[in-house]
């Protein structure tokens, strides 16, 4: 195996997972971030984000993994440099590339300064790991070139690669080490060859692992042009979001005709052209990826005068699901004024503390605006939610959240929520003891037998 010196700019969620996993498979990695407090925290072995397995992986990789604020040093010493900074939604839903652009220009300047001291044997491979719209590879290349020209006006040796991430929060370490596929886009063959060598231990699954048996013998390695690689990322997330919105549309119809969407999902999911994953009806999708990526894809479409009707409908159905929670509460509580409503789970999905675009936040605001008092439970995201919503009372025991509540909403399917004792829940709640199962994860019969008024999504 060829060992590489790797720089990762951005020690956030994607950058930190990427850096830790590349160090684990045998490369020397330096994670660079402008946040001095975060760098100091990581240098002391404290991981500032919650992701299962990440802290242990960082600890095991101490000999190969370092943290710094020195971007020029990382540019000078790296064979491959990943850009993994935020691309938040900008005006009209388009991706805000200001952080990516600032890094690219700084890389160009640093590369030119380093060339004054010593000529590189091979071009620096600059990798877009951030989720960026189509055309961003050319944009980054332009800014690297302009940054270099600010220093000496000459050319510097570099290549730009698109390498989109497909990490699921809550299983990001696993997804990095055992991915469904690795996608690379570039215009120069030597850049793709470098990236193939970098990822060889993962592609061939030749690195040490405690998982036995391994998920597969080899990982599909997809190479294409820059624009297609960038489009693959957006298309994948847009399709998954659409699949969730589709089953939620079916759930609405199931409620009208008396069918059970869980049985419908099982029946259609057995068709291998459809598949069973992402067919869970409920309050819809959120998080840092689906909302941002679908919005960015819609914005790109409109730049070219195209109306993305299917994507517009996907978003519309998802927005409706939040309102459906309120409608279910109002139907059985009549009025929310003076009522206590418990939200079970606050993070946008289990096994993460991420609250970006979390359904819980919108539901809490809506419930609170209608005069109810909201108490929220989450094992890891509670403190963050309390900071974002001062009117939200946060507790760290699901039964404490249920005590005195007239209604409860299952928002995030943490194991602690899935395994709730319905009889204990009913004994703690006030009439009508309404349980809105926003993820369809609880047993309706057991809930009804315990005296709870159960309302799911699309369950007849």
In whole angstroms, give the CA distance from residue 278 to residue 22.
29
User: pLDDT, tens digit, for every residue of 364-416?
Assistant: 999 999 999 999 999 999 999 999 999 999 999 999 999 999 999 999 999 99
**pLDDT band for position 210 (50/70/90)?**
confident
| 159 assigned ligand-binding residue | no
Does residue 49 register a pLDDT over 60? yes
Residues 6+ apart with CB under 8 A from 320: 248
**pLDDT band for position 92 (50/70/90)?**
confident
The overall average pLDDT reported for the chain is: 94
Q: Which residues are catalytic?
A: 289
Does residue 325 register a pLDDT over 60? yes
| 233 assigned ligand-binding residue | yes
**Alpha helix (H) residue ranges in 44-171:** 54-60, 71-77, 98-117, 136-151
CATH superfamily of this structure's domain 5-224: NAD(P)-binding Rossmann-like Domain (3.40.50.720)
In whole angstroms, give the CA distance from residue 322 to residue 272.
30
The proportion of the chain whose per-residue pLDDT surpasses 70, expressed as a percent, equals 99
pLDDT at 65: 97
In whole angstroms, give the CA distance from residue 431 to residue 405.
8
List the chain domain ranges: 5-224, 256-455
pLDDT at 406: 98
* Bridge partners, residue 5, by sequence: 28
User: pLDDT, tens digit, for every residue of 295-317?
Assistant: 999 999 999 999 999 999 999 99
Does residue 137 register a pLDDT over 80? yes
| 281 assigned ligand-binding residue | yes
pLDDT at 93: 82
Does residue 197 register a pLDDT over 90? yes
pLDDT at 1: 80
pLDDT greater at residue 118 or residue 146: 146
| 424 assigned ligand-binding residue | no
| Section 35-54 average pLDDT | 93
Q: Residue 45: which of 69, 72, 63 has the closest Cα?
A: 63
| 356 assigned ligand-binding residue | yes
Whole-number Cα distances in Å, 291 to 297, 306, 361: 10, 19, 14
φ/ψ (deg, to 5) at 91: -65, 130
- Range of weakest confidence among 27-41, 56-70, 211-225, 321-335: 211-225
| Section 5-34 average pLDDT | 97
Token pair listed for 261? 């969407």
Does residue 217 register a pLDDT over 80? no
First and final C-alpha spacing in the chain? 57
| 169 assigned ligand-binding residue | yes
| 280 assigned ligand-binding residue | yes
3-state secondary structure of 423: helix
Q: How is the chain split among helix, strand and coil, in percent rounded to 5?
A: 45, 15, 40
Same fold, 5-224 and 256-455: yes
pLDDT at 214: 65
| 349 assigned ligand-binding residue | yes
| 282 assigned ligand-binding residue | yes
Does residue 435 register a pLDDT over 80? yes
Does residue 230 register a pLDDT over 90? yes
| Section 47-69 average pLDDT | 93
pTM of the model: 0.92
| 393 assigned ligand-binding residue | no
pLDDT at 212: 57
Burial 393-422 (b: 16+ CB within 10 A, else e): ebbeebbebbbebbbbbbbbbbebbeebeb
Tell me how crowded residue 305 is: count the other CB atoms within 10 A of its CB. Answer: 6
| CATH code for the part of the protein at 256-455 | 3.40.50.720
φ/ψ (deg, to 5) at 159: -135, 150
């Amino acid at each position: 195996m060829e060992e590489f010196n790797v720089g990762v700019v951005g020690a956030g969620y994607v950058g930190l997972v990427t850096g830790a996993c590349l160090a684990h498979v045998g490369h020397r990695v330096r994670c660079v971030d402008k946040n001095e407090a975060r760098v100091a925290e990581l240098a002391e072995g404290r991981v500032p984000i919650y992701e299962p397995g990440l802290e242990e992986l960082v600890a095991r990789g101490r000999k190969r993994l370092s943290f710094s604020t020195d971007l020029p040093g990382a540019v000078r010493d790296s064979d491959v440099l990943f850009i993994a900074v935020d691309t938040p939604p900008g005006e009209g839903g388009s991706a805000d590339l200001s952080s990516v652009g600032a890094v690219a220009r700084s890389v160009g300047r640093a590369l030119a300064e380093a060339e004054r001291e010593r000529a590189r044997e091979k071009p620096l491979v600059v990798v877009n790991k951030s989720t960026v719209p189509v055309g961003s590879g050319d944009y980054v290349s332009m800014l690297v070139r302009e940054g270099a020209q600010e220093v000496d006006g000459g050319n510097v040796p570099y290549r730009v690669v698109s390498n989109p991430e497909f990490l699921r929060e809550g299983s990001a370490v696993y997804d990095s080490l055992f991915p469904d596929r690795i996608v690379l886009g570039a215009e120069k063959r030597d850049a793709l060859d470098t990236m193939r060598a970098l990822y060889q231990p993962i592609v061939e699954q030749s690195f040490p692992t405690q998982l036995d048996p391994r998920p597969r013998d080899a990982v599909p390695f997809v190479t294409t042009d820059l624009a297609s690689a960038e489009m693959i990322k957006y298309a994948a997330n847009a399709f998954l979001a659409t699949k969730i919105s589709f089953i939620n549309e079916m759930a609405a119809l199931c409620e009208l005709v008396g069918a059970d969407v869980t049985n419908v999902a099982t029946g259609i999911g057995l068709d291998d052209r459809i598949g069973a994953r992402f067919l869970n009806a409920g309050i819809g999708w959120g998080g840092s990826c689906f909302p941002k990526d679908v919005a960015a894809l819609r914005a790109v479409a409109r730049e070219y005068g195209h109306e993305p009707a299917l994507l517009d409908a996907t978003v519309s159905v998802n927005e409706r699901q939040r309102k459906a929670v309120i409608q279910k509460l109002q139907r059985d509580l009549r009025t929310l004024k003076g009522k206590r409503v418990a939200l079970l789970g606050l993070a946008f999905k289990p096994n993460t503390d991420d609250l970006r675009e979390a359904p819980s936040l919108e539901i809490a605001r809506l419930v609170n605006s209608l005069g109810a008092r909201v108490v929220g439970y989450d094992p890891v995201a509670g403190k963050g939610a309390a900071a974002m919503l001062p009117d939200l009372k946060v507790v760290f025991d699901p039964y404490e959240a249920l005590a005195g509540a007239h209604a409860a909403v299952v928002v995030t399917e943490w194991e602690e929520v899935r395994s709730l004792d319905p009889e204990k829940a009913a004994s703690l709640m006030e009439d009508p003891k309404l349980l809105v199962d926003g993820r369809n994860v609880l047993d309706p019969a057991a809930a009804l037998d315990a005296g709870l008024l159960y309302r799911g999504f699309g369950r007849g």
